[in-house]
Amino acid sequence: GTERVDEGRRTSTTTMAVADRSLVAATATAATCMAATLILRITFVLKTIHDDSNDSVTKKRRTKRKRPVSTLVVLGSGGHTTEMIRLLTCLEAKRYSPLAYVLATSDTTSLDRIEASPAARHGDAVYRIPRSREVGQSYITSIFTTIRSFI
């Protein structure tokens, strides 16, 4: 009787170990894909910036621009909203307008802080988007919420 119980425990332990390995492999694959995408995007942006900075036409256009520039302000947690308020105080209102704010649907304080700040400008539009990963959310479920946030 004792041998059968031990065998059952070994089998369930082995099954759990295989499931854990599969979970780790899936998480590692998702993390690798996200990291590769991020690296490609950063490379593309840096190349574009570098190419634009060497273009004499772009330099002329940049210095003689008379029209206002549409500006997107992304708000977030962890001090990011405070940084954005500081940056907004440095921008000329006539040159950088209209303003559009983007914040997470679960963010309850950032917009209030912008509205309460005398230094910040009130935007023409506010866009709320789903957060790809909430604080404390498991990495496995964040795969699905990240996909949802792109839709």
Per-residue pLDDT tens digits for 112-150: 888 888 766 766 788 888 877 777 888 888 888 888 778
Residues 125, 21: Cα–Cα separation, whole Å: 46
Percent of the chain with pLDDT over 90: 0
Please state the pTM of the whole predicted model: 0.52
Tokens of 128: 């709320």
Residues 149, 151: Cα–Cα separation, whole Å: 5
Give every CB contact of residue 91 below 8 A, 6+ residues apart in sequence.
71
What's the chain's average pLDDT? 77
Whether residue 6 is predicted with pLDDT greater than 80 in this model: the reply is: no
Least Cα distance to 132 among 97, 94, 102 occurs for 102
